[in-house]
């Protein structure tokens, strides 16, 4: 059995997509969802999918509760799927090369603190980029600076809005994120 912790702060569409992808696989996967926001829609998705979910607030995170909970679960992989807080250094040190994140741009472009979701897509359009994509990377103690695992690109036309760019990027996320997670788990 492989234990996977999915960390999300909002909607949880990537978390749902990942869980659905692994539902019929021959290996046994146990998912745990942790969010830092009690109003996050990912909690509703967890109920629908019959997956364990809990809220560990930023304050509790700062008090070490997230670290203790993750140690209890002892995951094979921790997946940040729209988790917006800087991940605690002690967890990164305790689980080296077992924490990954997805970023909605081609890092190192448009990464760092405050660069998430529509902020990224708006920056891509404002800077008249001709391509964007996703980057799946290991988590380090700095936003979006861990080693790159996988990148894939899509074109950006001159007339694309931030919303249209977001749609293209979401399609890449849904297609590739679960496959990359599966490959990482098979390599472990």
Q: Is 103 a catalytic residue?
A: yes
Distance of CA 68 to the CA centre of its chain: 21
> 79 and 5 in contact (C-beta within 8 Å)?
yes
User: Tell me, what DSSP letter sits at residue 114?
Assistant: T
> 83 and 7 in contact (C-beta within 8 Å)?
yes
Catalytic, out of 103, 121, 137, 176: 103
Q: Is the dihedral of CA 114, 116, 117, 118 positive or negative?
A: positive
How many CB atoms neighbour CB 91 within 10 A?
A: 20
Q: Which of 102, 89, 85, 77 has its CA nearest to residue 6?
A: 77
Residues in the chain: 188
Catalytic residues, which ones?
A: 103
């Amino acid at each position: 059995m492989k234990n996977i912790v999915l960390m999300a702060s909002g909607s949880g569409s990537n978390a749902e997509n990942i869980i659905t992808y692994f539902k019929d696989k021959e290996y046994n996967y146990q998912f745990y969802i942790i969010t830092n926001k009690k109003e996050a829609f990912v909690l509703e998705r967890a109920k629908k999918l019959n997956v364990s979910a809990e809220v560990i607030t930023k304050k509790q995170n700062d008090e070490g509760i997230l670290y203790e909970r993750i140690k209890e679960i002892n995951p094979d992989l921790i997946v940040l799927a729209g988790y917006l807080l800087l991940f605690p250094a002690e967890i990164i040190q305790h689980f080296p090369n077992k924490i990954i994140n997805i970023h909605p741009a081609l890092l190192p472009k448009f990464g760092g603190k405050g660069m998430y979701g529509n902020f990224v897509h708006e920056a891509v359009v404002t800077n008249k980029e001709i391509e964007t994509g996703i980057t799946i990377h290991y988590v380090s103690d700095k936003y979006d600076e861990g080693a790159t695992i996988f990148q894939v690109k899509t074109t950006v036309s001159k007339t694309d809005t931030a919303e249209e760019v977001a749609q293209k990027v979401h399609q890449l996320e849904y297609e590739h994120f679960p496959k990359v997670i599966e490959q990482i788990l098979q390599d472990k």
